[in-house]
Structure 1
Amino acid sequence: MMTEDLTGILERFCPMYVLLDDGGRILNVGPTLQKLRPRHAMPGQGFLDLFELLRPRSVTTIPALMGATDAKLRLRFRDEPQTSLKGAIARLPQGRGAVVNLSFGISILDAVRDYALTSADFSATDLAIELLYLVEAKSAAMEASRSLNLRLQGARIAAEEQAFTDMLTGLKNRRAMDQVLSQLISMQMPFALMHLDLDFFKSVNDRFGHAAGDHVLQQAARIMGEETRGTDFVARIGGDEFVLIFRGLEDKIQLNKLARRLIERLQEPVPYGGQTCRISASIGTALTSQFPRPAAAEILNAADLALYAAKRAGRGEHRFFSRCDEGDGCVAEIGRFG
């Protein structure tokens, strides 16, 4: 049989074969085995220069290798990655060398992970193909699962964000406010809470329509975002009602200046559709330091009382919540400091 005929048969049925001459020099290798070292041609190299023989331990020379036809060979590449292989050797007749068959000798995990081998790299009769199908199916299933998990995680995050967001203004909503208040109180962090209500907003809706009202709300939300810090919290909790929470800030002078800036900016005319919309704002502020054991409902109620005191004062005003020492109930302290 000519060598060309032999290599054709070997490539079809043993795609990880090594054809050796009688001196242990590599004459040819299977296409799959060559894939493991695509940048280095194996033919012409000495077999024991390319591979380190691990078993049998007694085989250290080419003559000993040629005589190990009844032994199972365990070997590995000498260079990186040092992939381990298993095989068997068969002598060719008339001293024409030998064939080392490694087709069953590579770990399926190594074949896929390190060399990206597929079922096309093995003989159709190899049991390795069945294992490769399983590995490929598992990899595809894991990738599909990972992709699905990422989509589900993204959808969950989006749903949670939507659940805590006012869709018209992009501000947080009442549910988010309740959560933030609960966290701040449980952490015993001092804060100030402003309850802001837009004055004359109903007349904008009545005169110019709800689209104009929506535009005014969006502009008001933008102003509140511009006048607050990144650590502050702004929420729309009703039609034209907003709550602002200032972490770690209870200085009345600073808070009053902030409230006055908000009122002044919200009084600026808002153009819409060739018309001019005019609103104002009333604000009531409560501080956690005013309560021995602050509770969310108590702070919100106090800010609400201060807000309505601001409205009774003529609107476009700011009031701080205050307690009376005489037992006559609660009043609001005029918000003019400094």
Structure 2
Amino acid sequence: MVGSRFLDLFEVYRPRLLVTMADLLAHEGAKLHLRFRDAPRTSLKGVLVPDGQGGAVIDLSFGISVVDAVRDYDLTGSDFAPTDLTIEMLYLVEAKSAAMEASRTLNKRLQGARVAAEEQAFTDTLTGLKNRRATDHILGRLVRTGRDFALMHLDLDFFKEVNDSFGHAAGDYVLQQVARILVGETRKDDTAARVGGDEFVVIFVGVSDRHRLSDIADRIIARLERPIAYDGQKCRISGSIGITFSSGRADVDPADVMQEADLALYASKRGGRAQHRFYDPTMTQNAENDAPFGV
């Protein structure tokens, strides 16, 4: 640097437009913000004092940029005076960095634990499907956002006989196979859930085509009627299905949708099982007429 012009080595970026020695001398005592013109373009702060001979002495400091300087120039404690408060500042910066990293790590762990807890709270542990709580949450969200959906309520036929004949382990295995079948009939935005012992719900988002839902229901019923092998035994079940839609209504209540699918399901049961029915308003009227007096 010896023999070089100061303004050839340093760029003064604050105050702006200081490009000559006269400009610098005019800012005696003012804080200057500078950086090297060549890489690494380390930032410095300085204060200028004229030397009375047309030149000046400038006291330079890294300031807060000392953190970058330590990195850029591989500085160590021996590069600073023992009484320099910069060392203490660097310790504080290091401690803060360590604390922030520990905080980020802890936040990630807590967030992961929260997500896992929420997922567990919304998951049926036996089948891996969503549970009744998740179903209510999803239906409420769909209603709030105004998205159309179809709801399919499935109840297994003859499931009690499987438990009675082969034990609850066989029943659990059958439920897991049913879950696999339902997942195979859903898309990414759809939801398959176990809402009771042998009751399942499937929510099809944006689906309002009766023929499409009818085909899906027929495929599910056909697959359920295939014997399920367990421990050398053949477990035989079937399924009854009720279907309803949210579309075409001014106001949609999730509880009403579930009730409609339930009525359609039991119409399938009364019709001989292993079939599906779509909800229609006469089912509600029939249910009211069949209710005991006073209920």
Q: TM-score, normalised by structure 1?
A: 0.67
**Residue pair 2:11, 2:37 contacting (<8 A) in 1 also:** no
Shift of 1:302: 1.4
**Residue pair 1:269, 1:276 contacting (<8 A) in 2 also:** yes
Distance in 1 separating the partners of 2:223 and 2:249 = 31
The partner residue of 2:10 within 52, 56, 62 is 52
Question: Tell me, which stretches of 5 or more residues in structure 1 are unaligned?
Answer: 1-19, 26-45, 61-71, 89-99, 332-338
State how 1:136-285 maps to structure 2 within 5 Å.
136-285=94-243
**What residue in structure 2 maps to residue 64 of structure 1?**
none
**Residue pair 2:11, 2:34 contacting (<8 A) in 1 also:** yes
Mean Cα deviation higher: 216-225 or 226-235: 226-235
Shift of 1:118: 6.7
**Residue pair 1:323, 1:330 contacting (<8 A) in 2 also:** no
**What residue in structure 2 maps to residue 111 of structure 1?**
66
Distance 1:283 1:114, change over 3 A: farther
**Residue pair 2:69, 2:75 contacting (<8 A) in 1 also:** no
Distance in 1 separating the partners of 2:69 and 2:126 = 52
Shift of 1:53: 8.2
Q: Which has the higher helix share?
A: 2
Distance in 2 separating the partners of 1:243 and 1:118 = 66
Distance in 2 separating the partners of 1:205 and 1:113 = 70
**What residue in structure 1 maps to residue 282 of structure 2?**
324
Q: Which structure has the bigger radius of gyration? A: 1
The one-letter amino acid paired with 2:37 is R
Q: TM-score, normalised by structure 2?
A: 0.76
Mean Cα deviation higher: 235-244 or 208-217: 208-217
The one-letter amino acid paired with 1:105 is S
The one-letter amino acid paired with 1:128 is T
Cα deviation per residue 1:179-199 (whole Å; 9 max; x = unaligned)?
121122223333221110111
The answer to whether 1:79 aligns with 2:38 is yes
| Number of residue pairs matched by the alignment | 264
**What residue in structure 2 maps to residue 336 of structure 1?**
none
**Residue pair 1:50, 1:77 contacting (<8 A) in 2 also:** no
Distance in 1 separating the partners of 2:178 and 2:236 = 11
Mean Cα deviation higher: 46-55 or 149-158: 46-55
Mean Cα deviation higher: 270-279 or 258-267: 270-279
Q: Percent identity?
A: 54
**Residue pair 1:122, 1:129 contacting (<8 A) in 2 also:** no
The partner residue of 2:77 within 120, 130, 135 is 120
Distance in 2 separating the partners of 1:168 and 1:310 = 27
Distance 1:121 1:146, change over 3 A: farther
Distance in 1 separating the partners of 2:260 and 2:123 = 25
Cα deviation per residue 1:215-246 (whole Å; 9 max; x = unaligned)?
21111111111112222221111111101112
Distance in 2 separating the partners of 1:255 and 1:150 = 42
Other structure's SS at 2:280 match: strand
Cα deviation per residue 1:275-332 (whole Å; 9 max; x = unaligned)?
222211111112224765331111111111111121122221111222239x65679x
